[in-house]
């Protein structure tokens, strides 16, 4: 298993957008006064989010717990095909965070019915964390289209997510959980502005010009609330 550890803490500011306000680079540069370019082609992102039966991770977000985590299995492209999946553990410390990424094998995930209990055999997981991991289960699948932008100074990364949809994940019917049937759609786009701690002052100037409000709410939290899984 390959661990892509990102030890650099950074800000990730989220903005809920009207679906018609920003949809392209041309729209974006009207609000962000710096040189931007589209770094990658738009692609479909799929994530299976994990939590325990008490939705502890969701409530940690709602309660603004200083040290909290978000755990998901992510893959790209056709949502029916689990291609090159990765386990992502996002750690948040106050307003900044980092992400650890681990390569997974599709066959291992299918055989375990998306349980993370098999991670006990993997080198990276600390024994103190295993009791927490084994209680996690797949809660829902979230998919969306993502565009990627980068400033020419390499200091600001912007992602624009559209066509955001989600559905409850049933580990006893994985094929149905991964397909694009019976989806619920979020009537918003989400823009994320990502930058180093040292660039906070400049980023705040950018944020004030965006036609949207700053939000601490994640796609996972928006989805579980929309589905009535938590209040």
Evaluate whether residue 231 is within a structural domain.
no
Distances from the Cα of 61 to the Cα of 69, 91, 193, 216, 220, angstroms:
9, 11, 19, 8, 10
Evaluate whether residue 160 is within a structural domain.
yes
* 3-class secondary-structure state, position 61: helix
Evaluate whether residue 95 is within a structural domain.
yes
CATH code of the domain containing 66: 3.20.100.30
Evaluate whether residue 67 is within a structural domain.
yes
Are 22 and 215 spatial neighbours (Cβ–Cβ below 8 Å)? no
* 3-class secondary-structure state, position 58: helix
Could you give the number of structural domains in the chain? Answer: 1
What stretch of H or E contains 42?
strand 36-51
Specify the pLDDT at position 146: 97
Position 1 pLDDT exceeds 60: no
Position 84 pLDDT exceeds 70: yes
Evaluate whether residue 208 is within a structural domain.
yes
d(C-alpha 63, C-alpha 94), whole Å: 12
Specify the pLDDT at position 134: 82
Residue-number span of the structural domain to which 51 is assigned: 3-226
Q: What is the mean pLDDT of residues 121-141?
A: 79
Using the structure block, give the residue that is written with the tokens 């955001």.
164
- DSSP type of residue 210: S
DSSP assignment string, 78-128: -TTS--S-EEEEEEEETTEEEEEEEE--HHHHHHTTT-SGGGGGSTTS-HH
Evaluate whether residue 130 is within a structural domain.
yes
Specify the pLDDT at position 120: 62
Specify the pLDDT at position 113: 92
Distances from the Cα of 47 to the Cα of 21, 36, 86, angstroms:
25, 27, 10
The number of residues in the chain equals 231
The pTM of the full predicted model, rounded to 2 decimals, is 0.92
d(C-alpha 79, C-alpha 2), whole Å: 23
- Determine the longest span between alpha carbons in the chain, in angstroms: 50
Using the structure block, give the residue that is written with the tokens 């938590």.
230
Tens digit of each residue's pLDDT (9 = 90 or more) over 133-185 = 888 999 999 999 999 999 999 999 999 999 999 999 999 999 999 999 999 99
């Amino acid at each position: 298993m390959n661990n892509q550890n990102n030890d650099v803490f950074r800000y990730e500011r989220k903005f809920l957008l009207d679906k018609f306000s920003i949809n392209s680079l041309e729209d974006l540069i009207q609000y962000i006064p710096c040189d931007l370019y589209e770094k990658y082609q738009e692609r479909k992102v799929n994530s299976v989010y994990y939590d325990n039966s008490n939705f502890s991770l969701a409530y940690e977000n709602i309660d603004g717990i200083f040290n909290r985590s978000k755990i998901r299995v992510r893959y790209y492209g056709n949502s029916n095909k689990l291609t090159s999946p990765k386990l992502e553990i996002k750690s948040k410390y106050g307003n900044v965070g980092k992400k650890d990424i681990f390569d997974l094998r599709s066959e291992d995930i299918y055989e375990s019915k998306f349980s993370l209990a098999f991670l006990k055999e993997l080198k990276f997981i600390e024994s103190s964390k295993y009791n927490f991991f084994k209680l996690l289960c797949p809660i829902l699948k979230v998919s969306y289209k993502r565009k990627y932008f980068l400033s020419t100074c390499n200091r600001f990364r912007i992602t624009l997510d559209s066509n955001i949809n989600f559905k409850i994940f049933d580990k006893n019917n994985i094929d149905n959980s991964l397909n694009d049937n019976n989806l619920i759609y979020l009537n918003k786009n989400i823009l994320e502005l990502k930058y180093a701690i040292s660039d906070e002052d400049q980023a705040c100037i950018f944020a004030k010009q965006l036609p949207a409000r700053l939000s601490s709410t994640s796609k996972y939290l928006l989805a579980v609330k929309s589905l009535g899984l938590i209040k």
